[in-house]
Amino acid sequence: RLSYIRHHQQRVLEEDAALMGEDTVADTDNIYLPASFLGSRAWSSNQIADSLAVAGALGNPTFFITMTCNSCWPEIQDRLRPGQTYVDIPLVVVRVFKRKLACLLQCLRSLFPNVGRPVYIIHSIEFQKRGLPHAHILVRYDTDCVL
């Protein structure tokens, strides 16, 4: 797929411009990854636009939460061999973080039982410069009942 994208840049640019309703195609020296490619800049931009549209239609979030991975979590430390650091086992770090994030999201869904389910939960996972993941979470509850 990456080979196709690299060798058919003009076509990829034209298709993405058509999907986004743009008339002009940006000419670039770099390889452009389309919005259909998970993790590309265009894909991220579309995800942010969708999240803003949800928040715009359903109201501002009640909570903005940031969850950061801790390299000292026992699940990570138990997998290290002598002389290793968390940088040497990125797959373990990501799996532990994703599992703990899933637990947090499940907890947020049932945090206020008298309110019921949240109106929306939107999250985005990013990686810090030192390699550890963190997540930004937007949650909207029915504020009349919560506050």
**Given this model, what pLDDT does residue 52 score?**
85
Statement to judge: residues 4 and 75 lie in one domain: no
**Given this model, what pLDDT does residue 129 score?**
77
Statement to judge: residues 107 and 45 lie in one domain: no
Instruction: Look at residues 58, 79, 98 and tell me which one is the last residue of a structural domain.
Output: 58
Statement to judge: residues 35 and 84 lie in one domain: no
Residue range(s) defining the domain that contains residue 42: 1-58
Amino acid at 46: N
Overall domain count for the chain:
2
C-alpha to C-alpha distance for 18 and 46, rounded to whole angstroms: 14
**Given this model, what pLDDT does residue 105 score?**
95
Statement to judge: residues 40 and 63 lie in one domain: no
**Given this model, what pLDDT does residue 96 score?**
97
Statement to judge: residues 45 and 73 lie in one domain: no
C-alpha to C-alpha distance for 29 and 64, rounded to whole angstroms: 38
Cα→Cα distances 34→23, 94, 111, Å: 16, 25, 38
Statement to judge: residues 10 and 82 lie in one domain: no
Would you give per-residue pLDDT tens digits along the chain (147 residues)?
889 988 989 888 888 888 767 665 566 678 888 888 888 888 888 888 888 898 889 998 989 999 999 999 999 999 999 999 999 999 999 999 999 999 999 999 888 777 777 999 999 898 887 789 999 999 998 865 544
